[in-house]
C-alpha cells in the first residue's frame, strides 16, 4: 500500500502536523489521558518486570477484557468493569502466589486464572446481542471517545497510585530482589505483594482505556523491559521506563491520528521496536 494511502492528512511538515495534532479537543484529551497512563505504566511496569510478574500482568490484561465484555453485556459503564475485574483478578493472583521455591505452582495457578478470565470474556461477548463496534474499540483501543471527565478520573486514580508506589518503593524493591531475606528482616512480603498486585490491576485498568484491554500488556511491559536492558539502577531505570512509555504513547497516538490503522496497533508496534533497539544496543 502506498505511504500516502496509509498516512492520510499528514503533510510531512513537523510544525504544521504537530499543530494539527493538538487542534481538536478529542485529541487533546487523548494525549492528556495517554500521558497519565504512560507515567503510571512506566513506574508500575518497571517493578512488575523486576518482580518477574509479567505473566501476572498479562493475566490481568485478559481480566480487563473480561470486565469490559461483562460491562458491555450488563449495560453499565465500562470503566467500572475494568476496575472491578482487575481488582478481583489481583486478589485471585495474590491468593495463588507463593515463594520462589513454588514458582511452578504459582505459574500454574496464574495460568488457570488467565484461562478462566479469557473464557468468561468470550462467554460475555457471545451473549452480547448489540453492536460490537464500540466493544471492539474498548478491547483493541481507540482515542476518539476519551472525554475530559475520563481524563480527570484517570488523574484522580493515578495520583494516589503513584504516591503509594513511592511510599512503598524501598521495601517493595527489597522484597522484589530477595523476598526471603526481606521477610526475615520484618517486611510483610505477602501483604506487600497483594498491595502491588492491586496497584498493578489499577494500572492495567487505566492503560486499557487507551490501548484496549487486549493490548495493554505491550505498554505495561515493553518500555519497562527495555529500561531494564538499558540500566540496572532503580531510580534511573524507572525514569527511563517512564520516558520510553511516554514516547511510545505519544508516537502511537500521532501515527494513529494520521493513519488508517488503530492506536493499539501503533502503540504495540512502536513499543516492540523500542525494545528491539534497546536489546540490540546493550
pLDDT tens track for 146-191: 888 889 999 999 999 999 999 999 999 999 888 888 888 888 888 8
Instruction: Tell me the mean pLDDT in the region 245-272.
Output: 89
How high is the pLDDT of residue 170? Answer: 93
Residues 196, 47 contacting (CB under 8 angstroms) = yes
Which of 10-14, 57-61, 212-216 shows the lowest per-residue confidence on average (mean pLDDT)? 10-14
Percent of the chain with pLDDT strictly greater than 70: 87
Q: How far is CA 199 from the centre of its chain?
A: 11
Hey, where are the domains in the chain?
3-281
Q: What is the pLDDT of residues 229-256, one digit of tens each?
A: 999 899 999 999 999 999 999 999 888 8
- Whole-angstrom Cα distance, residue 1 to residue 52? 40
Q: Domain 3-281 belongs to what topology? A: ABC transporter involved in vitamin B12 uptake, BtuC (1.10.3470)
Handedness of CA 44, 237, 226, 103 (dihedral sign): negative
Q: Is the pLDDT of residue 127 over 80?
A: yes
Lowest mean pLDDT among 164-168, 196-200, 217-221: 217-221
Whole-angstrom distance, CA of residue 171 vs CA of residue 173: 5
- Collapsing DSSP states into helix, strand and coil, what is residue 5? helix
What's the pLDDT score for residue 231? 94
pLDDT of residue 41: 94
Q: What is the pTM of this model?
A: 0.87
Give the HSE-up count for residue 170: Cα atoms under 13 Å, Cβ half-sphere.
Answer: 2
- Whole-number pLDDT of residue 131: 55
Tell me: pLDDT of 133 over 60: no
Reported as a pLDDT band with limits 50, 70 and 90, residue 104 is low
**Residue 193 has which C-alpha cell?**
505483594
Distances (CA, A) of 88 to 59, 92, 115, 198, 281: 12, 6, 15, 9, 39
Amino acid at each position: 500500500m502506498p505511504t500516502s494511502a496509509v498516512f492520510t492528512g499528514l503533510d510531512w511538515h513537523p510544525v504544521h502536523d504537530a499543530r494539527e495534532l493538538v487542534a481538536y479537543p478529542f485529541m487533546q484529551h487523548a494525549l492528556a489521558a495517554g500521558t497519565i497512563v504512560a507515567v503510571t505504566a512506566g513506574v508500575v511496569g518497571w517493578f512488575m518486570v523486576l518482580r518477574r510478574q509479567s505473566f501476572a500482568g498479562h493475566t490481568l490484561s485478559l481480566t480487563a477484557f473480561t470486565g469490559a465484555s461483562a460491562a458491555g453485556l450488563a449495560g453499565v459503564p465500562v470503566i467500572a468493569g475494568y476496575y472491578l475485574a482487575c481488582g478481583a483478578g489481583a486478589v485471585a493472583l495474590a491468593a495463588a502466589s507463593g515463594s520462589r521455591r513454588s514458582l511452578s505452582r504459582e505459574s500454574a495457578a496464574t495460568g488457570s486464572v488467565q484461562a478462566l478470565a479469557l473464557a468468561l470474556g468470550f462467554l460475555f461477548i457471545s451473549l452480547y446481542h448489540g453492536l460490537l463496534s464500540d466493544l471492539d474499540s474498548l478491547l483493541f483501543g481507540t482515542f476518539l471517545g476519551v472525554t475530559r471527565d475520563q481524563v480527570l478520573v484517570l488523574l484522580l486514580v493515578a495520583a494516589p497510585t503513584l504516591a503509594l508506589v513511592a511510599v512503598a518503593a524501598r521495601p517493595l524493591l527489597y522484597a522484589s530482589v530477595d523476598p526471603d531475606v526481606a521477610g526475615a528482616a520484618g517486611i510483610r512480603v505477602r501483604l506487600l505483594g497483594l498491595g502491588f498486585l492491586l496497584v498493578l490491576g489499577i494500572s492495567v485498568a487505566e492503560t486499557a482505556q487507551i490501548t484496549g484491554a487486549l493490548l495493554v500488556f505491550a505498554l505495561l511491559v515493553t518500555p519497562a523491559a527495555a529500561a531494564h536492558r538499558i540500566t540496572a539502577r532503580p531510580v534511573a531505570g524507572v525514569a527511563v521506563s517512564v520516558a520510553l512509555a511516554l514516547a511510545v504513547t505519544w508516537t502511537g497516538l500521532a501515527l494513529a491520528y494520521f493513519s488508517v490503522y488503530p492506536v493499539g496497533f501503533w502503540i504495540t508496534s512502536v513499543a516492540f521496536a523500542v525494545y528491539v533497539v534497546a536489546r540490540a544496543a546493550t
